[in-house]
Structure 1
Amino acid sequence: MKELQDIVKAFDHAQIAGKQTALATVVHVEGSSYRRAGARMIVTDDGQLTGAISGGCLEGDALRKARLVMAQQKPILVTYDTTDEDDAKLGVGLGCNGIIHILIEPIDPSSSNNPIALFKQFLSKREPVVLVTIFTLNDKQAAQPGTCALMNKDEQVTGVFPDSTIEDAVLIDAKDVLKNGNSVTKTYIYEDRFTCFIELLRAAVSLIVVGAGNDAIPLTKLAAVLGWQITVIDGRSNYIIPERFPLADKLIVTKPDNALSKLSLDNRTVFVLMTHNYNYDMAMLKQLLPLQLPYIGALGPKKRLNRILDELREEGVNITDEQLESIYGPAGLDVGSENSEEIALSIIAEIQAVLTKRNGSSLRYKATNHIRGGEQIIQQSLTENI
């Protein structure tokens, strides 16, 4: 999400400056790589790069090829094979032991369906979409259609497919991804002609920080680095001011009973209760419990949270096991946090783990497979659907 936001901004600045641009996208990965399919980078004709397609080792070579793409106004597919232990011959030194396929396509500002226009359509609303990118993996000299279509939550399609023979099959798969809300990406091989990358894009995380104390400041700063949308709520007007929270998208001074009426919530909305005011936090939690949000973090000791829950039960609030599953208290992963910055880091990491359905353990204990960063690569022949 943050990467797309930055790419769109860079494109707009390039347009104002009269620069040509090209988009590089990791469309397929075999084995391991630093970035997964869906990683992107925009390149300007004077060599400015925004985004990333690797840990820095591919960007230089991709820049040279992007300039060729801009000159010819023709997309190309580039493959970096690092399965050979002597990958130094590539001049990039990846050390990833994988094969990375990168599509580089020129951006035509006059086209209403260019990739940036599709990104802007997605970013304009807090709704999931499916983005379709088509290329020819088995014949790199063939035409590379590129980022061509977007399906919104109402299954309306923007864009044009390069071949009607694959459109129906692709849209069926796109609807399935959209319906199930999968965080996976799928790469399908269609005969020897087309490869389709079907990608689910989700809205940025909406972080609602309840409490404007000093310890909330580093939490909003870290969330801003990730491109999350940030709202801070507190009842103290002298605390909740722009000078203290310059990176927040919205500051709300209100009593807890009126807080929810000032918010728009969805399944990408998370809360962190950190007012240090027992009654304020309890009043907020009472309203949040029925909403079944993905994450409600409660700062402070477990004893404090249990006391709040007990008092709510005494008031007649029926708290289900399912509702308890969404409450994380004390908030944060166990990383030995002491000060407010370290606590903020542990909370942000826990939210990320919860939203991506990970356990937050060290990657050193993870088995090697083709599932990385929420991505699952699936190859299958769909010739029977064409």
Structure 2
Amino acid sequence: MKEVKDIVLAYDAAQREGKQTALATVVHVQGSSYRRPGARMLVTDDGKLTGAISGGCLEGDALRKARLVMVQQQAMLVTYDTTDEDDAQLGVGLGCNGIIQILIEPIDAKNPSNPIQLLKAFLRHRQTAVLVTLFSLADKKAEQIGTCFLMEQNQEITGCLLPDEGLQAALEANAREALQTGASSFAAYEGAQPLTVFVEVLKPAVSLVVVGAGNDAIPLVQLAAVLGWQITVVDGRANYATTARFPLATQVLVSKPEQVLSHISPDSLTVFVLMTHNYNYDLAVLRHLLPLQLPYIGALGPKKKLDRMLDELREEGVRVTDVQRQVLHGPTGLDIGAETSEEIALSIMAEIKAVLAKRGGAPLRDKADVIHPRQNALIRKVTLTRQEQA
């Protein structure tokens, strides 16, 4: 999400300076790679790069090809095959073991449906959306259609419609399915020109609500800002909850605990960390958070503190379900031996990321399987019926 925002800002700056641009996107990966499908990099004609498509190995070669794309104003699909031990011929020396497909598209500022405009349409709303991209793996010299359209949560479409109505209908069906499942996918459509589609689910940034504006909240906000998260800091103390203390926060609120939610609209990517060091304030906020279907609620402090809060709520007649108990994390954070406020912030951020990604937070060296499941890259073959092609 942060990468998308950075690319949009860099594109706007390039436009003001009269520079040409191209967008490089990882559209498929087979095997190992540093970045996964959906990774993007904006290239300007003077060589400025924003975003990344690898760990720095592919960028130089992609820059040269992007300049060619800008001159020709024609999209290009580039394959980097690092399964070949003699990968030095690519001039990149990757050291990975995968096949990476990069789509490089020229950005036509006059086209209201260019890829950057579609990314801007996604950023306008805090909602999940689906971006559909077409390319030809079978014939890399064929016309690469590129980024087609964006489907928003209400299934409204922004972008260019394909002249092939059957293919357009099939792609829209794919996009609707992706909105429902929340998972990106690939499909290969057989026809006069075999095409592969990357149906990419775009999700808004994580919204972190830090309840507590003490000094230990500052590094937590700083780390969240590095990740591009949307950050709200709230506290009842006006001399603590200030923009001067939290300049990287999206908003800083002074509020009574029972009024916190009147300023915030939580969604499926909203997480809370209770760290006011005021037991009664944290308890009052927790009382209002429990009925919400949040993915993560962290409570700073010892386990007995959270247990005591839950006992008090039960005595009040509040029923704490197993589902609600599952999202409560107290003490908040992973066990990394954290002591300083900066280390504690790292611990908390790591746990939130692991929970949202449905991972255990264990060392990667102990993982028996690959980091990213191979089935996520499978390309489903689809044959359009004659009725769909009509």
Aligned residue for 2:380, secondary structure, equals coil
- 1:172 Cα deviation after fit: 1.2
1:249 maps to a residue whose letter is: T
Aligned residue for 2:381, secondary structure, equals coil
Aligned residue for 1:200, secondary structure, equals strand
- 1:217 Cα deviation after fit: 0.2
Q: Which residue does the alignment assign to 2:55?
A: 55
Residue 146 (str. 1) matches residue 117 (str. 2): no
Q: Which residue does the alignment assign to 1:156?
A: 156
- 1:375 Cα deviation after fit: 8.4
In the TM superposition, what whole-angstrom CA distance separates every residue of 1:33-84 from its partner, at most 9, and x where no partner exists? 0000000000000000000000000000000000000001000000000101
Give the distance between the partners of 2:166 and 2:384, measured in 1 at CA.
11
Q: How does 1:272-287 map to 2 (within 5 A)?
A: 272-287=273-288
1:40 maps to a residue whose letter is: R
Q: Please say if residues 32 and 370 of structure 1, whose CA atoms lie closer than 8 Å, have aligned partners that are also in contact.
A: no
In the TM superposition, what whole-angstrom CA distance separates every residue of 1:75-134 from its partner, at most 9, and x where no partner exists? 000000010122222210111110000000000111111111111111111100000010
Residue 311 (str. 1) matches residue 312 (str. 2): yes
Q: Please say if residues 298 and 329 of structure 2, whose CA atoms lie closer than 8 Å, have aligned partners that are also in contact.
A: yes
Q: Please say if residues 370 and 377 of structure 1, whose CA atoms lie closer than 8 Å, have aligned partners that are also in contact.
A: no
Aligned residue for 1:380, secondary structure, equals strand
In the TM superposition, what whole-angstrom CA distance separates every residue of 1:213-267 from its partner, at most 9, and x where no partner exists? 0100000000000000000000011111112101001010011011111111111
Aligned residue for 1:276, secondary structure, equals coil
Give the distance between the partners of 2:384 and 2:15, measured in 1 at CA.
44
Q: Which residue does the alignment assign to 1:187?
A: 186
Q: Which residue does the alignment assign to 1:172?
A: 173
168-177 or 143-152, larger mean C-alpha shift: 168-177
Q: How does 1:2-21 map to 2 (within 5 A)?
A: 2-21=2-21
Q: Please say if residues 43 and 66 of structure 1, whose CA atoms lie closer than 8 Å, have aligned partners that are also in contact.
A: yes
Give the distance between the partners of 2:121 and 2:178, measured in 1 at CA.
19
TM-score normalised per structure 2: 0.96
Aligned residue for 1:275, secondary structure, equals coil
1:239 maps to a residue whose letter is: Y
81-90 or 92-101, larger mean C-alpha shift: 81-90
Aligned residue for 1:311, secondary structure, equals helix
Q: Which residue does the alignment assign to 2:228?
A: 227
Aligned residue for 2:199, secondary structure, equals strand
1:309 maps to a residue whose letter is: L
2:144 maps to a residue whose letter is: Q
Q: Which residue does the alignment assign to 2:267?
A: 266
Aligned residue for 2:126, secondary structure, equals coil
Give the distance between the partners of 2:8 and 2:384, measured in 1 at CA.
38
1:38 maps to a residue whose letter is: G
Provide structure 1 residue ranges, at least 5 long, that are not aligned to the other structure: none
Change (3 A) 1:38 1:383: same
1:237 maps to a residue whose letter is: A
TM-score normalised per structure 1: 0.97
Identical-pair percentage? 64
Q: Please say if residues 188 and 196 of structure 2, whose CA atoms lie closer than 8 Å, have aligned partners that are also in contact.
A: yes
Q: How does 1:1-386 map to 2 (within 5 A)?
A: 1-162=1-162, 163-182=164-183, 185-191=184-190, 193-369=194-370, 371=372, 376-385=376-385
1:96 maps to a residue whose letter is: C
Aligned residue for 1:101, secondary structure, equals strand
Which stretches of structure 1, 4 residues or more, deviate above 4 A after TM superposition? none
Aligned residue for 1:41, secondary structure, equals strand
38-47 or 164-173, larger mean C-alpha shift: 164-173
Give the distance between the partners of 2:129 and 2:298, measured in 1 at CA.
28
In the TM superposition, what whole-angstrom CA distance separates every residue of 1:265-292 from its partner, at most 9, and x where no partner exists? 1111100000000000000000000002
- 1:378 Cα deviation after fit: 2.1
Give the distance between the partners of 1:370 and 1:303, measured in 2 at CA.
35
- 1:384 Cα deviation after fit: 4.5
Give the distance between the partners of 2:160 and 2:233, measured in 1 at CA.
41
Aligned residue for 1:251, secondary structure, equals strand
What is the aligned-residue RMSD (CA, Å)?
1.4
Give the distance between the partners of 2:384 and 2:170, measured in 1 at CA.
10
Aligned residue for 1:247, secondary structure, equals coil
Q: Please say if residues 36 and 375 of structure 1, whose CA atoms lie closer than 8 Å, have aligned partners that are also in contact.
A: no
2:233 maps to a residue whose letter is: V
